[in-house]
Structures are given as structure tokens and as C-alpha cells.
Amino acid sequence: MKRIALLALLVLVAACTKEEKGYSINAKTAGFENGTKVFINAISHSGRPIIVDSTTIEQEKFKLNLPPAESNDFNYLTFNNIQGNVLFLPENNAIKMTIHKDSLRSSIIEGGNENKLFFEYIQKINEFGKERVELNNQYQIASRLNESDKALAIAAKKEELRDSEKNYRLKIAENNTSSLVAVMALGDLLNLKMLPPKEAQETYTALQDTVKQSRLGKNLNQVIAQTLAVSMQKRIDMGSTAEDFSGPTPEGKLLSLKESMGKITIIDFWASWCKPCRMENPNVVRVYNKYHDKGLNIIGVSLDKQQTAWTKAIADDDLNWNHVSNLKFWQDPIAQAYGVRSIPATFIIDEEGKVIAKNLRGPALEKKISELLGEKSL
């Protein structure tokens, strides 16, 4: 009987030791004062932050033992009286951190496959961003110097970089169906308009249910549904007949598209607050000045909200063509009729009103106008 009782006790002890162990955080810090409070924060399904636990930094380090994460979501560290946070994924592994007060975003997080994938993803995206900034700078310099061949070559490199970034993000989403990082990558592809909503929906469908049921997974599903609904709305595409429209000019008169058309017409959606639009304006001015006498007309449709900002930008940028605006921001009825979701956006139409090109910029715009008006620009 004693032997049976001892066996029962061992089984009970073994059962107790099978409880989930949770995870630990061991952190080294730099620049923090002793006694600085550290908070571990989670995010509820309603999107509100929840403090999970806290401790203090002593002798440039702190340690926490935490229960298993209750939801499949990011957690983050915050520090008393210090702006910023440190993002990480709670996993039932020991997590090591190296945190610098003056550079929280540069914190090093080690521990678990999810954190490894997340920080590899962030590092790669940052590399893409740096390369994109460098190419944009080179492109702007070449455009200002009228080095058309060089600008076209740089534009091609920019497209290659965009394709590489798209393929990288898509590979992350397709190859990590049980990871929140896949949700991040897919959401980024959708927000950056690198992936059509239909393809995003197909990739989302392949994710595992644990990811879909997470807060981020549910949010992404809603975004995909909304984007799909928008994409099904009427759009003006290549080969379509451009819808006629009328809008108030800076002087308060009504002006229609038909009244503004030339042999070739550019409908240019822009705004004074749109930095890419303002950066592209010198190129559009140069093309207009070169080809206006040969039949090129432009009508600018501004998504501004304030009359003074709109008219000042027209004067400052020497936009000496027709302009209209309802001053309704993204609710502008002309932009909505043309399915414009981002600016700058351009539609090139012939004298019959057919759309023959869209969204060309820089040397590509001049090259197309030259082809249409029978001249070589390069």
C-alpha cells in the first residue's frame, strides 16, 4: 500500500511540473538611472494597452519572469519618464535584450523563432528604405540636371528595388503562415499598394487560424475586405473614356475637362501638401513648356482643403495651366470619380478623351509625350 501511495504522489508531482513555464526576460541596459521603472505592456483585443508586469533597473540590468502570453500579439517595454518603447514577441523561451536609453529602436532582442524572424524582417526593410532614399536622391539630381538617360536608368533601378521588396515581403507572408510577422508583411504589402487586394486575400486565406484569430489578423482581414470593396468601385483605366467633369478655378469660375483639352491632355491630381507632387512639379512644368505649343494641355485637380495654400503652390511652382479644386481633400468628387486613392496621379488622354497612359513621372512622362506628339525628347 505504501508503494501505491508513493506512486500516486509521484504522478501528482509530475502533473504539477507540466504546467506551462511562461518566459523570462534578461536585459542589459545603458544610460538608465538606477531605479528606473520598466513596464511590460500587452494590447487587448479592443486595442487598449494593458500592463502585464513591472520591475526596476538596477546596476544596468533587470530581469522578469512572466506567465505564458494570453494572446498571440506583440508586447512592448516602456520606461518611466522616457519616450518610446521596445517591441518584441512573447514566446515561451528565455529572451535576452540589450537596451540603450538614447536609441530604444536599436535594441537587440534575442530568443525564440518569432523574435528572430521579426527582427530580421525589420532589418531587411530598413535596408530597402535606405537604398530607396539613396536612389530617390540620385533621381532628383539627375532630373534637375536634365540628365535624361541617367534618370531613366535610376528609375529602372527604383522599379527593380520595389519588385525585390515586394517579393521579399510576399515570401515572408507565404513561408511563415503561423507567424504574426506574416500578418505584418501582408499588411505592409497592402498599405504600400504592392499587392492587389485579391492576391492579399488569397495569401491571407492560407494563414493558420491561430494567426487569423489574433488581434492583428482580424484587423488585417477587415482592411483586406475594405480594400476589396474600394477596388470594385468604378475606376478610369487604360482604354477608358475619361469622364468629363467641372470644378471651381482659383478665380471661382466653373471649368470643365472638355474646355481644357488639347491634342494631348494631362489630368494631374495633386495638392500643395503632397511632397512627392511638389517634387515632380518642376518636371511637369518643363514638359508643359516644351510641348504646350505642339498641342499639350494640362488640367490640375487639387485635393487641397484651403484656397490660400492651393493658389500659393500654383504660383510658387509656376504651374501655368488650368486648375480646379473643390477644396474637399480626399472627398473631392472628381478624384472619387477617377478612383484616385493616392497622389500624384496622372491620366494622359488623347483628343477623343481616351486614356492612353497613367501615372508617368520624370523622364518617362516626357518620353511618352514626345512619342504622342511625334518628337524625340531624349
- Does the reported pTM lie above 0.75? no
Asked if residue 12 is part of any domain, the answer here is no
Asked if residue 177 is part of any domain, the answer here is yes
For residue 15, name the pLDDT band (cuts at 50, 70, 90). very low
The residues near 162 (Cβ < 8 Å, ≥ 6 apart) are 194
Structural domain total, the chain: 3
Lowest mean pLDDT of 42-46, 265-269, 273-277, name the range: 42-46
Which of 274, 298, 278 is closest to 287 using CA atoms? 298
Asked if residue 240 is part of any domain, the answer here is no
Q: What is the pLDDT of residue 149?
A: 86
- What is the residue-averaged pLDDT of the chain? 87
CA dist., res. 135 & res. 132, Å (int): 5
Taking a C-beta distance cutoff of 8 angstroms, is the pair 211, 39 a contact? no
Q: What is the pLDDT of residue 112?
A: 86
Asked if residue 127 is part of any domain, the answer here is yes
In sequence order, what DSSP letters do the residues of 7-68 get, joined into one string? HHHHHHHHHHHTS---EEEEEEEESPPTT-EEEEEEE-TTS-EEEEEEEE-BTTEEEEEEPP
Beta-bridge mates of residue 357: 348
Asked if residue 10 is part of any domain, the answer here is no
Residue 44 carries which DSSP code?
-
If one counts every other C-beta atom within 10 angstroms of the C-beta of residue 222, the result is 9
Q: Which domain holds residue 212?
A: 114-231
Query: Are 226 and 137 within one domain?
Result: yes
For residue 12, name the pLDDT band (cuts at 50, 70, 90). very low
For residue 21, name the pLDDT band (cuts at 50, 70, 90). low
Does residue 49 have a cis bond before it (omega within 30 degrees)?
A: no
Write the pLDDT tens digit of every residue in 116-159: 999 999 999 999 999 999 999 999 898 888 888 888 889 889 99
